[in-house]
């Protein structure tokens, strides 16, 4: 068999040369691609920087506009409250006096309707103003005794509880402390307690409890207010904290404005906490749960 050694030698030499040159060539190609990627990355960073600057400007503009609208809303509510309260005050004072002079039962009945509606309007005005104040003011959160706040509330409602045959259980231990603004937390307990009393006309049990919880890396105290009243459906628990929402049974009652639990929700949001309702259905009672910062929390101002 004949072999062309000369050609084989040239082919081997060419192969060796190619193998020697290829790595250098590939390195150059890679360096070129890296440089192109660097240029593209630089362009992308400039675009991102421009977009971020634009977004920051928009955020500042929107924040300024939001604060302006918030101030206008609060000013409007203040003016409206004043304008409505001014003519309402003499009505609330004078209508009961007129009632005393009436002899006709039909006229007394009609005047009672006027009195109830006047008082209802007054409550709506008070709650609306209260809601606006909570949303527009900061709270300074300080260490407070949760047991003491609840104990003071129970003493305040003692006559009401006795007259309505409501048994009260304060299961909060005395060494539980929270970070809160006492007046606001008392305000929240006032709304929850009055709601519970309204739905336990035939008596029942009202319980206050607490336990430590951790949420989103923060230390909180979860507080639960449980009544043995009528209970709620799933739809009612989902909508319970919506403004002006009333459960079916109280929708047309004038003793409820539908703002009390919305006020509670706003107070808890100011604490950086959450509030929710829990019920197993009609006839099973209702539990309102909410969280406020514990004394281990770093929060010192409202959200």
Alpha-carbon gap, residue 70 to 192, rounded angstroms: 27
Q: Examine the fold and report which residue of 102, 137, 172 is the final residue of a domain before the chain moves on.
A: 137
pLDDT at 172: 95
Alpha-carbon gap, residue 141 to 44, rounded angstroms: 44
pLDDT band at 83 (very low <50, low <70, confident <90, very high): confident
Question: In this structure, are 272 and 132 located in the same domain?
Answer: no
Question: In this structure, are 90 and 106 located in the same domain?
Answer: yes
Question: In this structure, are 105 and 185 located in the same domain?
Answer: no
The arrangement of strands across the sheet holding 166-170 comes to 166-170, 204-215, 218-227, 286-293, 275-278
- The average pLDDT across 3-13 equals 58
The average confidence (pLDDT) of the chain is 84
pLDDT in tens, 129-162: 888 888 777 888 999 999 999 999 999 999 999 9
**What's the CATH number where 157 sits?**
3.30.565.10
pLDDT at 230: 86
pLDDT of 164 strictly over 50: yes
Q: Which residue has the higher pLDDT, 105 or 78?
A: 105
Q: Which residue has the higher pLDDT, 55 or 16?
A: 55
Has residue 238 been placed in a domain?
Answer: yes
> What DSSP state is assigned to residue 62?
H
pLDDT at 66: 79
pLDDT in tens, 266-298: 999 999 999 999 998 888 999 999 999 999 877
pLDDT of 299 strictly over 70: no
pLDDT at 290: 97
Alpha-carbon gap, residue 128 to 94, rounded angstroms: 24
pLDDT at 173: 93
pLDDT at 14: 63
pLDDT at 225: 97
Has residue 128 been placed in a domain?
Answer: yes
Question: In this structure, are 31 and 166 located in the same domain?
Answer: no
Question: In this structure, are 150 and 199 located in the same domain?
Answer: yes
pLDDT in tens, 169-190: 999 999 999 999 999 999 999 9
Has residue 302 been placed in a domain?
Answer: no
Q: Examine the fold and report which residue of 119, 137, 155 is the final residue of a domain before the chain moves on.
A: 137
Q: Examine the fold and report which residue of 137, 156, 186 is the final residue of a domain before the chain moves on.
A: 137
Question: In this structure, are 235 and 258 located in the same domain?
Answer: yes
Number of domain units in the chain: 2
Question: In this structure, are 122 and 259 located in the same domain?
Answer: no
Has residue 115 been placed in a domain?
Answer: yes
pLDDT at 251: 45
Residues 6+ apart with CB under 8 A from 48: none
Question: In this structure, are 284 and 162 located in the same domain?
Answer: yes
pLDDT of 12 strictly over 80: no
pLDDT of 13 strictly over 80: no
Closest CA to 85 of 53, 126, 51, 52: 126
pLDDT at 166: 94
Question: In this structure, are 175 and 252 located in the same domain?
Answer: yes
Question: In this structure, are 236 and 252 located in the same domain?
Answer: yes
> What DSSP state is assigned to residue 56?
H
pLDDT > 90: what percent of the chain?
Answer: 36
Question: In this structure, are 53 and 2 located in the same domain?
Answer: yes
- The average pLDDT across 104-122 equals 88
pLDDT at 301: 65
Alpha-carbon gap, residue 87 to 245, rounded angstroms: 27
pTM of the predicted model, to two decimals?
0.70
Has residue 175 been placed in a domain?
Answer: yes
Question: In this structure, are 185 and 69 located in the same domain?
Answer: no
pLDDT at 176: 94
What's the domain range around 156?
A: 141-293
pLDDT > 70: what percent of the chain?
Answer: 88
pLDDT of 252 strictly over 90: no
Q: Which residue has the higher pLDDT, 94 or 80?
A: 94
Which residues are 288's β-sheet partners? 225, 277
């Amino acid at each position: 068999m004949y072999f062309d050694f000369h050609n084989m030698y040239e082919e081997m030499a060419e192969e060796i040369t190619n193998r020697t040159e290829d790595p250098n060539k590939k390195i150059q190609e890679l360096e070129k691609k890296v440089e192109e990627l660097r240029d593209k990355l630089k362009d992308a960073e400039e675009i991102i920087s421009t977009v971020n600057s634009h977004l920051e400007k928009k955020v500042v503009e929107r924040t300024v506009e939001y604060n302006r609208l918030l101030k206008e809303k609060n000013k409007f509510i203040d003016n409206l409250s004043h304008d409505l309260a001014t003519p309402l005050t003499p009505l609330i004072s004078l209508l009961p006096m007129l009632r005393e002079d009436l002899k006709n039962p039909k006229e007394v009945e009609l005047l009672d309707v006027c009195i109830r509606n006047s008082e209802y309007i007054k409550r709506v005005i008070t709650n609306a103003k209260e809601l606006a104040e909570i949303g527009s003011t900061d709270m300074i959160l300080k260490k407070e005794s949760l047991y003491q706040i609840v104990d003071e509330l129970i003493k305040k409602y003692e006559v009401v509880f006795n007259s309505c045959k409501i048994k009260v259980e304060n299961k909060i231990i005395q060494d539980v402390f929270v970070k809160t603004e006492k007046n606001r937390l008392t305000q929240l307990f006032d709304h929850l307690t009055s709601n519970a009393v309204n739905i336990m006309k035939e008596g029942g049990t009202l319980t206050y409890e607490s336990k430590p919880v951790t949420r989103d890396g923060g230390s909180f105290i979860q507080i639960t207010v449980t009544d043995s009243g009528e209970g709620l459906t799933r739809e009612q628990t989902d909508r319970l904290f919506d403004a002006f929402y009333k459960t079916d049974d109280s929708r047309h009652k004038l003793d409820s404005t539908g703002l009390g639990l919305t006020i509670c929700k706003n107070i808890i949001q100011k604490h950086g906490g959450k509030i929710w309702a829990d019920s197993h259905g009609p006839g099973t009672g209702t539990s309102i749960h909410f969280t406020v910062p514990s004394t281990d929390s770093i929060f010192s101002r409202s959200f």
